[in-house]
Every structure is written in structure tokens, then in C-alpha cells.
Amino acid sequence: MNILIKWYYRLGAPLWFYPLAGKLIPWVAALFLLFLIPGLYMGLVTAPADYQQGESFRIMYVHVPAAWMSMFVYLAMAIAAVVALVWRVRMAEIMIISAVPIGASFALIALLTGAFWGKPMWGAWWVWDARLTSELILLFIYLGILALYNAIEDKTTAGKAMSILTLVGVVNLPIIHYSVVWWNTLHQAATVSVFDKPSIHIDMLIPLLLMATAFKFLFLLILLLKMRANLIEQDVHSGWVKKIILDKQAEMEKEHD
Amino acid sequence: MSPVRKKRFYMVLLLVVGISIATFLIVQAFSQNMMFFFSTSEVKQGKAPKDREFRLGGLVVEGSVKRIPKTLTVQFELTDSITPVSVEYTGILPDLFREGQGIIAKGQLNASGVFVASEVLAKHDENYMPPEVADSLAKAAKINAENAKNAEKAGSTEAISESIKEKSE
């Protein structure tokens, strides 16, 4: 029985997941555009200019959602790492390794847009304050996880090592979040938080929340694409991939006739 | 959860807790080094290093900014609303530099206790609003301040008239 369950986890889940993800992708892409277009329009056109920073504050509509996502993706990976280590679910490992490059990209976008914002406002591209440094460490952790997984040939061992490293890195998340509270930093404190009233005008807040939602769907979209690609790549010699290929061939032949 | 999974779960928990404690201790040990800047009060208390550069943060005191003609040298005072420190800087200031703005200056104290800055960064706060809202907030603050002043004045004239009464009696 146990062996059967193991086989289900190993091979059954991809066969079920792969077509489901394929069906979800266009819907997620539509939701992404649905939030992105009004978010960008309101953020770049209709939102009023800031009283201090003028038009330059608009870079926040990319910077802030990207920074939030860089942490959100990591949190999702950490939860998947617990599932992968305790229940030995292979799909959780696939999810982690597929999410790593996405999270790293979000961290890189946050750091780059932050530099573009910092130069005119603060007077510096980069400073070694606690917020900026801890976000840079997050980027390095992402790259470390990616390197570790690719360095180990056997993917079962690689998945385990990657999950452990992911959990080690999770301590950085509260450090990033509270860095502006615990230490004197050049970076300002949080504008939007769950418990306090946001210190941003409502006309500026709405596009920010739209963009944040759009980024969530963007993550989901790329994650689904990447998970499908990783599954196919790893299981190229296994039965379920062959079955999908044969089904596809039969479908195409039918269309031909 | 089966006993095997329970055991694995506790191992994972142990890992996270252990790493958290280790990180907490490291961060505690480095806490002073992770401060990006010193406040003006800390400088006056002698907590800032004397023989090397450090960063000083504070608000630019209203009306304290003086430009020395025909040079790029600016003199101003920074305060954390308790103790002010005089700062001197030669160079181009960032766009957000203005009176009442939060500033972080990098430099060293000279013999006369003036902070000679080699770099000035502007710190902005977490508030975002359109200029009209900022204006109306500033107006409201002004009116509040005036009301408070008037109330104080009224209080003091009452006190004076009372004291006059007392004397005449």
C-alpha cells in the first residue's frame, strides 16, 4: 500500500497536474492583464503626483509589488519545503525549484528599481543600510538554492538539500520586514501594513494594490509554466510524458484527417 | 500524522528554531554596526566614534540653512528635536534637501564640534499624498498652532489681569 502511495506521489501527481496547469494558464494570464492594465494606467496617469517627490514616486508601482513578491514567493517556497521534507511530496520540490528564479527576478527588480529611485531622491544609488542589505542577501539566498539544486545530480537528494536550505533562509524574511523598525536605516518605514491605516493617499493606494494583485497572478502564471517545463524535463523518459505525447499526436492526426 | 512524519516534522521545526536563535544572537552582536546612522543626541552624548567617519541623521532645523556666497559650502543644523548639531557641507545637495527634511550626512566631527560632511543623503518618510492634501494638512496644522497660541495668550492675559487685581486689592 505504502509503495502504491509513493508511486502516486512520484508519477500520478504529474499526470494529473500537467493538463490541469495547462488549462489554468490562459485564465491566470487573463486575470494578470485584468489587474495590470488598470493598475498601470491609474498608477502612471491618473494618480496625483506626490507632494515631495513629484512624479518620481510612480516607480513605486513596480518597486513595491516586486519587493513584496520577492518575500511572498520565498514564504510560499518555505511552506512547500516543509511539505517536501515531512510528507516527501515531489510536486512540492518541483514547485520550489520552479519558484526560485521567479523570486530571484522579483528581488532583482526591487533592487534595481530601488537604485533608480534612490539616486534622485536620496542622492545615492546604493547604501549599505539594513533594509537594502537584507534584500540583497535574499537575492543571494535565491541564487544559492538554485546553484545547490543544479549541483546535485540525483534529484531526490537535490530536492531534500534544497528544501533544507530554503528553510534555513527563511530567517531572513522577518529581518527584511523589521529592518526599518529595528535599526536606523535610510529606507523609510512601511507605508502599507495589515494592521495600521496606510500612510498613502487613497488615489495612490488603489493602483498600488491593483499592481500588487497583478504581480501575484504574474507569479502564478510563470510558476505554472515553469512547473510544467520542469516536470517534462525531469520525467522525459517516464510513462506519463510518453502518454501525453501520444495523446497529442493522436489529436493532431485527427485534425489532419 | 504517522510517527515517521511526526519525527521529520519535529526535525524541521528544530532546524528552523535553531537557525532563528543563531541568527538572533548574531544580529544582537552586530546590532550597533547595523545602525546606519547616529542621532544628534547620541553624538552629543559621545556615543559616536571620534576618530573615524560616521553618519549623522536628523531633521534640518527651520531657518538654519546658510549658504556661503560664491562657494558650494552650506551650513545648517540637524536635530532629533532634542539636541541640535551644526553641520557643514561642500557640494551638491539632493533634490529633497530642504528645511524640516530628514537628512543623513556622512562625515566627522572637527575640533570645535561641527560635523564636517563629505556626503549628504535625503531621507524621505513613508507618507505619500498629492500636494493639495499636503497643503491643506499644513494649513490645518497652522490653524491648530495659532489656536493654541491664542489660547495661551488668552490664558496669560487672564493671569496678568488676575495678578493686577490681586495687587490692587
| Residues B74-96 pLDDT 10s | 999 998 888 889 999 998 888 78
Mean pLDDT split into 10-residue runs, chain A, 257 residues: 63 79 95 97 92 89 96 97 90 95 97 93 88 95 96 93 95 92 85 82 93 97 95 85 85 83
Whole-angstrom Cα distance, residue A121 to residue A38?
Answer: 27
Of B9, B124, B130, the CB nearest to A48: B130
Whole-angstrom Cα distance, residue B125 to residue B134?
Answer: 13
Instruction: Tell me what pLDDT residue A131 has.
Output: 92
**What's phi and psi for B76, nearest 5 deg?**
-155, 170
Q: Does the pLDDT of residue B163 top 70, yes or no?
A: no
Instruction: Report the mean per-residue pLDDT for chain B.
Output: 82
Instruction: Tell me, yes or no, if A11 comes closer than 8 A to chain B by beta carbon.
Output: no
Most B CBs within 10 A among A57, A83, A88, A186, hence the mutation to make, goes to A186
Q: Do B36 and A171 make contact, defined as CB atoms within 8 angstroms?
A: no
Sorted by sequence, the CB contacts under 8 Å of residue B99 that are 6+ apart come out as B60, B61, B62, B63, B64, B65
DSSP secondary structure code for residue A46 in this structure:
I
A202 CA: distance to closest CA in chain B (Å)? 9
Instruction: Tell me, yes or no, if A202 comes closer than 8 A to chain B by beta carbon.
Output: no
- Crossing angle of helices A90-121 and A60-87, in 10° steps, is 160
At position B34, the amino acid (one-letter code) is M
Given pLDDT bands bounded at 50, 70 and 90, which one contains residue B153? Answer: low
| Of A23 and B151, more confident | A23
B48 CA: distance to closest CA in chain A (Å)? 14
Reduced 3-state DSSP string for chain B = CCHHHHHHHHHHHHHHHHHHHHHHHHHHHHHHHHCCCEEHHHHHCCCCCCCCCEEEEEEECCCCCEECCCCCEEEEEEECCCCEEEEEEECCCCCCCCCCCEEEEEEEECCCCCEEEEEEEEECCCCECCHHHHHHHHHHHHHHHHHHHHHHHHHHHHHHHHHHHHHHC
Q: Are strands B102-109 and B115-123 parallel, antiparallel or unpaired?
A: antiparallel
Of B9, B31, B130, the CB nearest to A49: B130
Q: Does the pLDDT of residue B169 top 50, yes or no?
A: no
> Using CA of residue A14, residue A15, residue A17, residue A18, what is the dihedral sign?
positive
Q: Do B35 and A184 make contact, defined as CB atoms within 8 angstroms?
A: yes
- Which residues face B75 on adjacent strands? B66, B88
Query: Where are the domains positioned within chain A?
Result: 20-46+57-240
Q: Cell 519558484 maps to which residue? A: A99
Instruction: Tell me what pLDDT residue A7 has.
Output: 62
Query: Among residues B88, B106, B5, which one has the least CA distance to residue B48?
Result: B106
- Which residues does chain B have within 8 Å of residue A184's beta carbon, measured at their own beta carbons? 35-39, 57
Do residues B106 and B55 lie in contact, with contact meaning Cβ atoms separated by under 8 Å? Answer: yes
Q: What is the mean pLDDT of residues B54-62?
A: 89
For the CA atoms of A81, A87, A92, A93, the dihedral, rounded to the nearest 10 degrees, stands at 70
Q: pLDDT, tens digit, for every residue of B23-55?
A: 888 888 877 676 778 888 888 888 888 888 888
Q: Do B12 and A127 make contact, defined as CB atoms within 8 angstroms?
A: no
| Of A227 and B138, more confident | A227
